Structures are given as C-alpha cells and as structure tokens.
Amino acid sequence: MTTVDLLVIVSNVIIYYMLYYYFPFSFLHFTSVRSINEVINYTAVDCSVWFTVAFTVDRFVLICCQRLRAKYCREQTAAVVIATVSIMFCVKNIPLYYAFEPIYIINNVEWGAHFKPDYFILPGWISFDWLDTILNPLLPYFLILLLNALTVRHIVMANRMRRALQGQRNAQKSDDPEMQSRRKSIILLFAISGTFIVLWMPYAVFFLVSRITDRFYEPDDYTDPLLIAEYTGDMFQLLSSCTNTCVYALAQTKFRENLKNAIIDCPLQQYQKLNVDLIEEQPPEIFELFPDLS
C-alpha cells in the first residue's frame, strides 16, 4: 500500500503537475510520454484503492471468519492478491493509451495529450469510462461499507457476549485489554472508510453529474464550474492516497512506540557517540590535565 501510494504521488504530483509545468519543452510533453504517464496514473490509483479493499477483506476474514482465517490470512495469499490486483489493473488501463491524441504537431513531433472526441461519443469508450468509475470508486465504496459494517457488527456482538460472561459490573470496572483492542479496531475501520468515502465523494459526484446531464467543461475556461469541480475531485483523490497509509500506521501501537523512540533516542545516542569519538581522538596528555574525561 505504501509503495503504490508513493507511486501515485510521484506520477501525479511530481511528474504530471510539477515537472510538466516547470519544464514546458521537455520530453515529458511528448504525446506518447503523456499517454504512458496517464496509464501509470490510472493504474496506480486503481491499485491504491483496491489494496485498501483487499486489506479490508483481510481484516474482515481475520475477525469474522474463524474457519477461513487460517487458510486465507497468510503471506502466500497476500502475495497472490497483490500480484492479481496489479496485473488486472495494468491490463485494464492499457486501452487508455489509445484514448489520447496530440494537442499540437510541430515539425512532425506530437506535443501534449488530451482525450479524443470519440472518447465521449463512441459506445465502447463510454462503456470503458463507466466501467472505470464502477471499479473505482463505486464498487470499493460498496465493499468497504459492507465489510466494515459486518466487522463492526461482529465486534459489537462479541463484546456483548463477553460482558455477559464476565458480568456487567466487572466489565465496567476493569480495564479489559480485549475490549480495548476491539474498540481500537472499530475506530480504525470508521477512520479508513470515512476518509475514503469523503475524499472520493467529489470525484464520484462530478462523474455522475457530468454523465447524467451530458455536460462537459471547456478545457481552456478555468472559470467553468465543471472544470473547478474536476480539479477539486483530483486534489481530494490524491489526498486519499496519502491518508490510508498514515491512518493504518499511526493506529498501530508498536509503530507509534518505534516512531517515538526514533525521535527521542536517536539524537541523544548520536550526541553521546560524538562525545565518545571526540574523547577517543584526544592525545593521552590531555587526560592528565582533565582527569574527569577518563
């Protein structure tokens, strides 16, 4: 998840927005390079979203499916899922390379890239566009909400049974580590599903409104509300690729402890090591003048 989210930021923000605008006459403006970068962008975003779905499925099986847990929650299964998702979306986004055409042709060199007019007219491209949006983010919306709801329901029912076995009074007075762990799981699930739904909502709304009303923006009119809506959706979509990894990592107690130790201990250890190295480099005569150094 971290690797794919980093690829999303590199391909979308660094290459597409920063290098593209700050180096206007570089090879990045060639139509073929722009088309390849668009394919990489779509693939990275799709994999980022579906790795989140795969992680949600893994947590659902781990918590709710006791019989399937031993067979599914393994490193081999994770490797197969990661490889399958990556290959599937790489193949799925290859047709996008042929959906773009050059904006300018100068000395037989194609510059820039934008969608062909046929992309919005031909039934094949329209179906591909709807399939792309169904796979990301509409279907992930449904799966994440459904699986998280079932997981939270299972945790709540297990908590009720645990209170009944322990006794309501004892459960309220004592700090049950199992109950605290389940409470953290619920908070984590709501945080992940909430951030994903909120940050992808502008993109989903823009797609549905533009397709249902059959309205499209003018690419050169930066005051067009539809253009502003699409850029806003892209911004929140990129932000979504950053939040999931941070939420998953910060929710883990061991990660927070290691991060705290890295911030506090490392500078102190480096300072002590520096002092020791400086003392060892001094000539023996100095210890006669300053006995405390020895």
What domains lie within the chain, and their CATH numbers? 2-256 (1.20.1070.10)
Half-sphere exposure of 285 (CA within 13 A, CB side): 0
Q: What angle do CA 54, 86, 69 make, to 5 degrees?
A: 30
Contact between 37 and 124 (Cβ < 8 Å): no
- Express each pLDDT in 46-70 by its tens digit: 998 899 899 889 888 988 888 888 8
* CA–CA gap between residue 247 and residue 268 (Å, rounded): 28
For 104, the enclosing helix (H) or strand (E) is: strand 104-106
* CA–CA gap between residue 109 and residue 107 (Å, rounded): 5
- Express each pLDDT in 144-185 by its tens digit: 889 888 888 888 887 777 777 766 555 455 566 766 776 777
CA distances to 18, 26, 30 from 22, rounded to whole Å, are 6, 9, 15
Question: Does residue 286 surpass a pLDDT of 50?
Answer: no
What phi and psi, each to the nearest 5 degrees, are found at residue 129? -65, -45
Q: Tell me, what's the pLDDT at 287?
A: 47
Q: How confident is the model at residue 122 (pLDDT cuts 50, 70, 90)?
A: very high
Contact between 68 and 158 (Cβ < 8 Å): no
Question: Does residue 98 surpass a pLDDT of 90?
Answer: yes
* CA–CA gap between residue 28 and residue 178 (Å, rounded): 53
3-state secondary structure of 151: helix
Amino acid at the residue 227: L
Name residues whose C-beta falls within 8 Å of residue 187's C-beta, 6 or more positions apart in sequence: 251
Q: Tell me, what's the pLDDT at 248?
A: 67
Threshold 0.85, pTM exceeds: no
Q: How confident is the model at residue 6 (pLDDT cuts 50, 70, 90)?
A: confident
For 226, the enclosing helix (H) or strand (E) is: helix 225-250
Question: Does residue 293 surpass a pLDDT of 50?
Answer: no
Task: Give yes or no for a cis peptide into 137 (omega within 30° of 0).
Answer: yes
